[in-house]
Amino acid sequence: SGHAHDSALTGSFQRLAWHLEEKGRGEEALSVHQKALDFTVKRFGPEHREVLQVATTLGGSLRAAGRLDEAESYYQRAYRGLSSLLGKGHRDALTSANNLGLVLEAQGRHKEAQQLYRRAFNGLSKALGPEAPAALAAAFNLATTLAASSAGSSSTRAEAENLFRMAADGRKRTLGSSSSVTLEAQDALAAHLVATHGRAQEAELVQREALAARDGLAAGSSHRRPDRSMLLALSTLGQALRLQKKLQESVCHSALAVLLLIDATVVAATLFTSAKRMSFGLGSLGSLPLAAYREKALMSGPGQSTVEVAEGLRFDEASLQRFLLAAGLPGVAADGPKLSIKKFGYGQSNPTYFLETAAGHKYVLRKQPPGKIIKGAHAVDREFKVIKAVGEAGFEVPEMHVFCDDAGVIGTPFYVMAFVKGEIPDNALLHLAKEHRRPAMKSIVQTLAKLHSYDPCRLGLLQDCAGKKPFGRLGGFYERQISTLARTSEAQVSGSEGKVPSMRHMQDLLALFKANMPEDRSCVIHGDWKPDNVILTRDSSGAPEVLAVLDWELSTIGHPMSDLANLCLPYHLGPLGAIVGIGSIDVDPDSGMPTEDEVHRTYCEAAGVKYPISGWSFFVSFSCFRLSVIIQGVAMRASRGQASSAAAAGNVVGMVMSADALCDLACDIMRKSFGPSTTGSRLCRSISIDPGLAIFGILLFRDSWTSCAAPGSVVKTRSVLHEAGESQEAGRLYKMAALGLQRTLGLEYPNTRGARQNYESFLKEAHLASEPENES
């Protein structure tokens, strides 16, 4: 019974470690695995079977963490020990040989790994049967090493193919067609057929079957996203189609694969839908899984999920706990356990954290980001002030608890408010059932009209009423905002140390604004009114309604149309909305979404103002411009290592180009109403005019700043265009990439030089003689 108790304790250690790994706390998990190993060695001795099994588990965790040398030592220990204890032909010893092969292969020691895989495959097939999962795993691993070393050897290629088939067919029979390891084997077989045999038609059939199985998985899951294996499968299918001269469909698959590989899921889904609707040469899409994934990728808003706090955004948790204790925050105890602190997955500007006490009290902390702050930006004191004021007047906001302006507590000023549980939607309300989208938007618009009805003087937000620092001023909102945004943009450019350039048409846009100012009006405005800044609940009939409004960082006294235009901006962005992260609204009879005109009517009725709204183009254009400056600011912070979002941290140039495209779009909107149309951004124009072309345009731009695992897919995409006889379009895209990088990164940046060389090579092949001209 003592041994049984000890084994149970070891199992508890390992379950805790696996739980920590699932939460992304890898170092803590490794520490627990090590404690489990130390315990079993002490209890059973170093050569006990249970000790060797724990060593195997620790080796696996180290391998997953990329610590291959350490992993090898534990795998070697387990393999030698189990072979000595049980015999080399025992299933556990053979499985251990397979595990050791994995780490040796990862170290590039393919011949040694191949020997171990072969030993494991032969032994496990004999001991357990050829279709036992462990035997099939060894067969697959052996096939992988053979395929990697099969150049010039037809017999090795043939053996690899047979083993891939054995693994794929055996796993399909024993584990099912949608098992991840079945799909893995089918993908590998298809890639092997394309790469070594050129048997494109057969590869296409295998790959389509695997993609169809993934399609079923996506349809049956509320959270599953396209993973790396699916993206590589798309790329393989694109190659197989290309070999069969199915050029247009090949381009589509290769393009989607690269977009998804660089984490542009929503972009790819939006462009796929637009291209399909416009019949952009997609051919027979068959089992392309993006159709099913689109619902999952686009219909999941930011929600209230949390992640571990990144290194650059951590703070002194003990200091925070002492402050909250002194402030009398319910649930914070002097001698109790420390707070649980996580970061919400959304929020690019002010980092936002989820706090939970041991007693179960839940709070939200919003703070200024670390590092140098531009004057007037990230004003969490203003945010706290306005939320508290409108909340006391009965508006739908979380309860505010405490504000701290002492940077000595956690590094920057912050405030703490109540946590409100509910649904945070995406900006197009796509996560809602179609029949709930119109009532949800109606509630959001009516809540906005309610906010605009408050008298800022009665709320104590004006200096002459409250005798305090003013929250805002009556009148002159757009003049002040435009001036402030222009200064902010200039400061962001200078603060980025050359990594964030000026937006190309900003001065033209500022002149258009100045010449076409709307009639002045003033009220309390939110400043960033959009669906993903509200929390929804359900009424008695199940329809969504606004429970609370979040993210008041940009709130002030201003023009009410600035909020309404911000809400309606996704109606104007098309696929560009997905690129910049705020989404786009595509109204059709089946969408369940109200039209922009319906939104106007709802607001005017609720607010008691005249319909139709005069000067609407100005308001939308300004919102577009303001978003461009906000994104430029995120790019500036990312260039300095201060980004709140992990996605932003790795995509500085992408955000620079997005900001520029938004500024150009704002200019176009103004010129359509107040003057002749401008040239506009190539990226922006290609998206608004031709969704299919946008796939290639974005590919070429993104390929230049992203370390993509499959850069060859982009090259193939360009060459396919050329082969398809679309040389003029291929040349335009080469040129687009070269000019865009030249403008944003400079002539001497390596990727700029590479793009120019690509374009010049293309010109030579096409018997042309010119270079990318400088853009105005």
Mean residue pLDDT of the chain comes to: 76
Give the residue from 158, 279, 283 showing the smallest Cα distance to 208: 283
**Cα–Cα distance measured from residue 193 to residue 204, given in angstroms and rounded to the nearest whole number:** 9
Task: Calculate the alpha carbon distances from 577 to 272, 308, 587 in Å.
Answer: 14, 28, 14
Domain co-membership, 337 together with 284? no
The dihedral of CA 36, 37, 38, 44: what is its sign? positive
* Residue where one domain finishes, among candidates 399, 418, 437: 418
- Helix pair angle (180-192, 154-175), 10° resolution: 160
Domain co-membership, 759 together with 723? yes
Q: What is the largest CA-CA distance in the chain?
A: 89
pLDDT tens-digit map of 222-242: 334 445 576 667 767 777 876
pLDDT at 190: 92
Are 613 and 449 a contacting pair, CB within 8 Å? no
**Cα–Cα distance measured from residue 564 to residue 26, given in angstroms and rounded to the nearest whole number:** 45
Q: Which residue has the tokens 């006490």?
A: 357
Domain co-membership, 282 together with 321? no
* Residue where one domain finishes, among candidates 238, 265, 298: 298
pLDDT tens-digit map of 198-217: 788 999 899 888 888 876 55
pLDDT range class, residue 741, cuts 50, 70, 90: very low
Domain co-membership, 397 together with 332? yes
Does the structure show a pLDDT above 90 at 155?
Answer: no
Is residue 188 a part of any domain in this protein? no
**Cα–Cα distance measured from residue 710 to residue 699, given in angstroms and rounded to the nearest whole number:** 12
Structural domain range at position 365: 306-418
Half-sphere exposure of 423 (CA within 13 A, CB side): 23
Task: Calculate the alpha carbon distances from 527 to 4, 324, 440, 456 in Å.
Answer: 63, 29, 20, 15
Half-sphere exposure of 493 (CA within 13 A, CB side): 17
Q: What's the mean pLDDT in 106-125?
A: 91
Is residue 717 a part of any domain in this protein? yes
Q: Which residue has the tokens 């359900």?
A: 538
Give the residue from 266, 195, 188 showing the smallest Cα distance to 232: 188
pLDDT tens-digit map of 559-613: 999 999 999 998 888 656 655 667 677 677 778 899 999 999 999 999 999 999 9
Least confident of 24-28, 252-256, 533-537: 252-256
Which of the residue ranges 42-51, 314-323, 460-469 has the most confident prediction, judged by mean pLDDT? 314-323
Which of 677 and 184 is assigned the larger pLDDT?
184
Cβ-based neighbour number of residue 613 at 10 Å: 17
Are 658 and 634 a contacting pair, CB within 8 Å? no
Q: How many residues does the chain have?
A: 776
Give the residue from 752, 568, 583, 775 showing the smallest Cα distance to 660: 775
| Tally of domains within the chain | 3
Q: What's the mean pLDDT in 383-394?
A: 95
Backbone angles phi, psi at 536, to 5 degrees: -100, 150
Domain co-membership, 348 together with 404? yes
Domain co-membership, 355 together with 414? yes
pLDDT range class, residue 297, cuts 50, 70, 90: very low
* Residue where one domain finishes, among candidates 400, 418, 436: 418
Q: What percent of the chain has pLDDT over 90?
A: 37
**Cα–Cα distance measured from residue 755 to residue 759, given in angstroms and rounded to the nearest whole number:** 6
pLDDT range class, residue 689, cuts 50, 70, 90: very low
Strands (E), 211-310: 306-307
Domain co-membership, 316 together with 401? yes
Does the structure show a pLDDT above 50 at 724?
Answer: no
Cβ-based neighbour number of residue 456 at 10 Å: 25
